Amino acid sequence: MKLLLRILVSVFLFVVIILPTGAWFFFPWYAQSLLDKALEGKPIRIEISDICQPDFSGIRFGSVRVVFITPPDGCNPEATSYTILLTNAFVSFRSGGDEKKEFWRLAQNPLTATILLVSDSLKIIPSSQQFTFNDENPLISFDINILAQKNLSLSLKPVSVKYRINNAAVIKENLGFDGISYNIKMSTAENWKQPLDTIRVARFSNDRKPLPVSNFTALFGSERDLINPCTLTLKHCSIELFQQKASADRIDYNLKTRQSRFILNFAEIPLNKFPGLSFGSSNKPFAKGQISGSIPVVFQDSSIIVRHAIVVGQKGSKIFSYTKENKPLLSLDLGLTKGGGDFLKNLNGTITIHKRNNQFAGVTVGDISANLCDGKITSTPVNADAEMKLKPFTVKLSNINIFDRLRLLGDFKGSLHGEINGTIPVSITKTSFITQNAQLHSTGGGTISIAPPSIKQTTSERLLGPERSEASYSFSEPSFILSREENGRTTINFRLKHLQKKTQGGEMTLLSPSGNLSLGNNHLNPNLISLYNFSTGFLDGNVAISQMNYDIAKYEGETTLQLNNIPLQKILDLQGTKKIFATGTIKGDIPIKLNKERFEILDGGMKAEQSGQIIYATTPEERAAANQGLRTTYEALSNFLYVQLISSISMAPDGQSTIAIHLKGTNPEFQGGRPIELNLNIQQNLLDLMRALSISSNVEQIISDKSLQLQKK
């Protein structure tokens, strides 16, 4: 009797889901026709196949296909059809007490029973095919009350449904959401509303490739806001980006507009966790410090809209750059600076995904703008096709005050200031980037000092030894036009208002230097840099270089300096001469060969561009002490009016030089002003001369150092 009762009750409970009668228990081959008749005119259709003969444990069937339609309402004006697919499903029944006693008490007390539905898989697909939900080995339980009516019919009332989703997956177009878990638990006691419970998504992917996003969690329930009844809300959301946690207080989804809104917050994410910055070490970090920020996001249809996002670096947050020799070169400060604002704020952009025939056809990032380093950066739309090949776009920089955040490191020191403006056309390929005529300019400038580690020396070595290699370079108002090809060939057209070099031996100022640099043009020697069409104001004249190739690995190069309109007096001043005064300008070509820290001059030549005057001021004592030939030269040059001045110069790498000067002219105060020709040959070590000129500055430095040492004692 008990077994019979179990079978009867199981049949009655199964009827709750699919049949108004239990007749098919004995005729499973009639089940589909009975289902069709029972559901005729209702917004649900059930198709079953491979029904097995029921046994004492339950009923098994090969597959179940359920199609139901949700009617339109105030939040969704259109009806939506959903298809549920179950494979290898099994339905069983259990009651809450002694089934025999419970069955005979149906007239007085309802029988509480549980229907268990298990299957190999459960799949849900909407008619729009916007997504596919798939769960392996689902277990769904239904609690119902069964009560006998006076006419001996049974009244069946659902009490609750429970479905623990575990490790399910959703596919939406190319996006994949895996490891989904959520507890569905609805009942009459809760008015069939899903209470708040935690939903989890373990992994995200695109085209089955893992994304750097994981472990999403949020609280979700079906109860809606009375003010916004069409809005579903996820609360207390968190997610991991690049293995770092981010959060959102809430995510609102509007059923009517199909729009999602949230503000993604991230705090204290280490910079060295981001791609491209994670390859450093404790001794040579590419980045240090942490960043925080918030990104307001609106997602609707195929568009993601970001408005007024902000990224803030904590104090001390920096990105580092190194030389080829892995020595520190510079750092970029991302934290708050004195008198400055946030590194990046008011970031805006709209990402639009394009489709063609329901397939991904490309993406566009438009409305791009942000406040960067107290300035503004904007871009034309960035378009990519289905294969993610980017089309060219242009970045515009306006008043970017990045110099205040740059710090020179290692052998380099200095301070920079000013704002950067310009436009950068960009084309990006799989292996490189291309730009054509990118223009950058600044009204600022700065000073860069190069100070290699000093070697301990005695006072005499410091006084009489070689000049220290410390040097500082100051510049102002730089501007660049840059082009780069896909193979890495780069040309830079540059211009500065001024460039000044200072060393212990003196200083050299170039006015309005300009020229072109070419890098990577020689595939046989990638270390070769070419300088061409260079010109600058120098010594109130002009110096130019037509072409120079310099090997930055061997420190070797050759070129010819082209001098024009150089005042002769300025040349004499460089020699430290205090007794010769001259007028007029010279021009010439000086071939130079560079080899590491040395250079040589190969048969250079100069000549006067016009006539001029030379005055060699000597004292009576000097003239009296000189021999007759030298005394005659002194007298001729005391007021020499030259009409021709030709000079040649050569210098060996050790500094030993030969200078030959040929002069033609007259001296009205010498021998009645007759024509005079002079040939002067000067042999000296120019490097020793420059070293001698620097002794006084060495003495000053030594005195300064001694003074500092005494102050520290």
88/696 Cα distance (integer angstroms):
98
Is 183 a residue whose pLDDT tops 50?
Answer: yes
Tokens of 99: 């089934």
Tokens of 341: 């604002």
63 or 31: which leads in pLDDT: 63
633 or 494: which leads in pLDDT: 494
Contact criterion met (CB below 8 Å) for 263 and 271: no
Residues 6+ apart with CB under 8 A from 380: 368, 393, 394
Which segment of 255-269, 469-483, 569-583 scores lowest on mean pLDDT?
569-583
Phi and psi dihedrals of 206, rounded to 5? -135, 120
Residue 552 has a pLDDT of 78
Predicted confidence (pLDDT) per residue in 346-388, tens digit? 999 999 888 887 777 888 999 999 998 889 999 999 998 888 7
Angle between helix 695-712 and helix 686-693 axes, rounded to 10 deg: 40
Q: How far, in Å, are 22, 326, 470, 571 from residue 467 at the CA level?
A: 108, 27, 9, 21
Q: How far, in Å, are 544, 564, 599, 668 from residue 561 at the CA level?
A: 6, 10, 13, 36
* Span 144-165, average pLDDT: 75
Which segment of 103-117, 466-480, 496-510 scores lowest on mean pLDDT?
103-117
Tokens of 672: 């009645």
131: in domain? yes
149/669 Cα distance (integer angstroms):
147
Residue 479 has a pLDDT of 93
Residues 6+ apart with CB under 8 A from 241: 212, 213, 266, 269
Residues 6+ apart with CB under 8 A from 239: 213, 214, 215, 216, 217, 245, 246, 247, 248, 264
279/693 Cα distance (integer angstroms):
49
Is 21 a residue whose pLDDT tops 90?
Answer: no
Tokens of 352: 């639009």
- 3 state DSSP class of 343: coil
R_g of the chain computed on alpha carbons: 44
502: in domain? no
Confidence of residue 295 (pLDDT cuts 50, 70, 90): very high
207 or 420: which leads in pLDDT: 420
Is 695 a residue whose pLDDT tops 80?
Answer: no
443/615 Cα distance (integer angstroms):
43
Measuring CA to CA, which residue among 238, 156, 231, 161 is closest to residue 195?
161
| Three-class DSSP labels, 516-572 | EEEECCCCCCCCEEEEEEEEEEECCEEEEEEEEEEECCCCEEEEEEEEEEEEHHHHH
* Span 475-501, average pLDDT: 89
Residue 356 has a pLDDT of 81
- 3 state DSSP class of 633: helix
Predicted confidence (pLDDT) per residue in 43-92, tens digit? 888 888 888 776 667 788 888 898 988 888 888 888 888 899 999 999 88
* Span 19-38, average pLDDT: 59
Which of 173, 190, 210 marks a domain boundary? 173
Predicted confidence (pLDDT) per residue in 433-465, tens digit? 888 999 999 988 888 877 655 555 554 444 444
Domains contained in the chain, number: 2
688: in domain? yes
Name the percent of the chain in helix, strand, coil, to the closest 5.
Answer: 15, 55, 30
Q: How many helices (H) and strands (E) does the chain have?
A: 9, 44
461 or 491: which leads in pLDDT: 491
Which of 173, 201, 221 marks a domain boundary? 173
Is 581 a residue whose pLDDT tops 50?
Answer: yes
633: in domain? yes
Residue 314 has a pLDDT of 83
Residue 454 has a pLDDT of 54
Residue 694 has a pLDDT of 43
Residue 148 has a pLDDT of 62
Distance of CA 603 to the CA centre of its chain: 51
Which segment of 66-80, 139-153, 305-319 scores lowest on mean pLDDT?
139-153
527: in domain? no
Give the whole-number percent of the chain exceeding pLDDT 90.
23
Averaging pLDDT over each range in 412-426, 568-582, 623-637, which range is the top one? 412-426
Confidence of residue 686 (pLDDT cuts 50, 70, 90): low
423 or 32: which leads in pLDDT: 423
Confidence of residue 472 (pLDDT cuts 50, 70, 90): confident
* Span 150-171, average pLDDT: 81
37 or 600: which leads in pLDDT: 600
Is 7 a residue whose pLDDT tops 60?
Answer: no
Which of 138, 158, 173 marks a domain boundary? 173
Residue 276 has a pLDDT of 62
* Span 535-550, average pLDDT: 89
Which segment of 14-23, 137-146, 223-232, 526-535 scores lowest on mean pLDDT?
14-23
Is 285 a residue whose pLDDT tops 80?
Answer: no
Confidence of residue 275 (pLDDT cuts 50, 70, 90): low
Q: Is the dihedral of CA 395, 398, 404, 405 positive or negative?
A: negative
Burial of 81 (0-12, 13-18, 19+ CB in 10 A): middle
212: in domain? no
573: in domain? yes
Averaging pLDDT over each range in 542-551, 573-582, 654-663, which range is the top one? 542-551
State the DSSP H helix or E strand holding residue 709, giving kind and residue range, or none if neither: helix 695-712
Residue 451 has a pLDDT of 62
Contact criterion met (CB below 8 Å) for 659 and 647: yes
CB-facing half-sphere around the CA of 595: CA atoms within 13 A: 8
Confidence of residue 263 (pLDDT cuts 50, 70, 90): very high
Is 629 a residue whose pLDDT tops 80?
Answer: no
Which residues face 484 on adjacent strands? 435, 490
Phi and psi dihedrals of 304, rounded to 5? -120, 120
249: in domain? no
Tokens of 381: 């739309």
Confidence of residue 393 (pLDDT cuts 50, 70, 90): very high
Give the whole-number percent of the chain exceeding pLDDT 70.
81
Residue 60 has a pLDDT of 86
Cα angle 469, 473, 479; round to 5 = 145
Contact criterion met (CB below 8 Å) for 14 and 21: no
Residue 701 has a pLDDT of 40
In this prediction the pTM is 0.73
Residue 138 has a pLDDT of 94
Confidence of residue 94 (pLDDT cuts 50, 70, 90): confident
470/502 Cα distance (integer angstroms):
9
What domain range includes position 76?
1-173
Tell me the pLDDT of the chain averaged across its residues: 80
